[in-house]
Amino acid sequence: MCWSRFARRVHDGSHRLGFDRLSTNERADVSPAVSAQAITQSRGPAQRRAIAKAITLLESTRADHRAQGDELLTALLPHTGGALRLGISGVPGVGKSTFIEALGVYLVERGHRVAVLAIDPSSTVSGGSILGDKTRMERLSALEGAYIRPSPSSGTLGGVAEKTREAMLVCEAAGYDVVLVETVGVGQSETAVHGMTDMFCVLQLPNAGDDLQAIKKGVMELADLVVINKADLDPAAATRARAQIQSALRVFGQQGNPQHALQDASVWHPEVIQLSGLKGEGLDAFWDCVSRFRALQSAGGRLHERRRQQSLAWMWERIDAGLKAAFRAHPEVRQALPAMTQDVAQGRLPPSTAARRLLALVAPESVA
């Protein structure tokens, strides 16, 4: 798409790319109340509006919006759990968006309803985010059976946004049976998506490095499926990369991730495939791998256990975030924090000592 067309879409607001002046809190404030019934029972534009408003409400940081969001999630929970949650990660330029669009079109044409949660990096300088994934996935965004929601990472580490899990549940409650989560994609530490999806796929380039690069710790040892994208550019390099990564995954299966143990025939063994997202080649093989993975994990009860562990980890993550927010909002901490921060910045007080003194203001018995 040329820049002039992109600019026009930003100007007329048809794709809500995040350049509007309203903050998330302000958008949630002017939006009507979202009902669970509008998400679960309506279809078409009405349902899309309800989904968008629900996710915006959940992303808000206002206390009253958080309370409304909790009530909404509780009402939606009985309608969730039926979708396949697929996480997709990879370095910038590997072709994640192109692949996701090709896969989404492929699945919609076969009767699936596909939701895409695309995480866009936020600027460390301005804090803004372009959120242009819907424009980049032009074919998929035009299909009735697809829904695309770009969200800013807003400083959240691990390649996902803070409310990606909540957005995933909203899409499931709306009847989408495949939820694709696209990470920011900045390196080897985009592992948070593994903790919220059923299957974790890593995209690699044909010439992404030598065999030492392939066995580095991080996303590779957590991957359930590795995809060599853009294999049409250099078939020979793609074949070499596939062999190197297969060798690395065997090492991980023997000494790394216990979920990929090679000696256990009932456990999924990560596979490596080649495809071209641009040409749409290899999508049948990819979806066959995904279907076999889901069948094997469901039959052995591992899918249920994985989701159970993810839910518990999600609960503790929100507890950690809530405790930090409550700590910052404590009256005594707010009063002492400016001076303490200044002392640390000027080198008059060790950071560890400052932290212990601030914690003692809230819970003196917990500070040894």
Same domain, 90 and 185: yes
Q: What is the pLDDT of residue 274?
A: 92
d(CA 307, CA 293): 15
Residue 54 falls inside a structural domain = no
Angle at 143 between CA 303 and CA 88, to 5 degrees: 35
> Rounded to an integer, what distance in angstroms lies between the CA atom of residue 187 and that of residue 224?
18
Each residue's pLDDT tens digit in the chain (368 positions)? 444 444 444 333 333 333 333 454 544 443 445 788 999 988 889 999 999 999 999 888 888 888 898 999 999 999 999 999 999 988 888 888 899 999 999 999 999 999 999 887 655 556 655 666 677 788 998 999 999 998 876 555 444 567 888 999 999 999 999 999 988 765 545 567 788 899 999 898 887 655 555 555 567 778 889 999 999 888 898 888 888 888 877 776 654 555 655 556 677 888 899 999 989 899 999 999 999 999 999 987 889 999 999 999 889 988 988 888 889 999 999 999 999 999 999 999 999 999 999 999 988 776 65
Residues 338 and 295 in one domain: no
Domain shared by 237 and 354, yes or no = no
Residue 122 has a pLDDT of 59
Among the three residues 299, 326, 343, which one is the final residue of a domain in this structure? 299
Give the pLDDT confidence of 131-170 residue by residue, as tens digits.
666 777 889 989 999 999 988 765 554 445 678 889 999 9
Domain check: are 250 and 318 in the same one?
A: no
pLDDT at 264: 65
CATH of the domain at 350: 1.10.287
**Predicted pLDDT of residue 285:** 94
Q: Which domain holds residue 88?
A: 79-299
3-state secondary structure 103-123: HHHHHHCCCCCEEEEEEECCC
Asked if residue 272 and residue 162 are part of one domain, the reply reads yes
Residue 295 lies in a domain: yes
Q: Is 347 within a domain? A: yes
**Number of independent structural domains in the chain:** 2
Single residue among 240, 272, 299 that ends a domain in this structure: 299
**How much is the pLDDT for 173?**
94
275, 299, 323 - which closes a domain? 299
Is 201 inside a domain boundary?
A: yes
Residue 17 confidence (pLDDT): 38
Assess whether 284 and 219 both reside in one domain.
yes
Q: What is the CATH number of the domain that holds 180?
A: 3.40.50.300
pLDDT at 242: 87
- Give me the pLDDT at residue 31, please: 44
pLDDT of residue 210: 53
203-220 pLDDT tens trace: 988 876 555 555 555 677
What is the Rg, in whole angstroms, of the alpha carbon atoms belonging to the chain? 22
* Position 66 in a domain: no
Q: Are residues 347 and 282 in the same domain?
A: no
25 found inside a domain:
no
Output the 3-class SS for the chain: CCHHHHHHHHHHCCCCCCCCCCCHHHHHHHCCCCCHHHHHCCCCHHHHHHHHHHHHHHHCCCHHHHHHHHHHHHHHHHHCCCCEEEEEEECCCCCHHHHHHHHHHHHHCCCCCEEEEEEECCCCCCCCCCCCHHHHCHHHHCCCCEEEEEEECCCCCCCCCCCHHHHHHHHHHCCCCEEEEECCCCCCCCCHHHHCCCEEEEEECCCCCCHHHHCCCCHHHHCCEEEECCCCCCHHHHHHHHHHHHHHHHHHHHHCCHHHCCCCCCCCCCEEEECECCCCECHHHHHHHHHHHHHHHHHCCHHHHHHHHHHHHHHHHHHHHHHHHHHHHCHHHHHHHHHHHHHHHCCCCCHHHHHHHHHHHHCHHHCC
225 in the same domain as 117 = yes
Give the pLDDT of residue 125. 57
**What's the confidence (pLDDT) of residue 102?**
94
225 with 353, same domain: the answer is: no
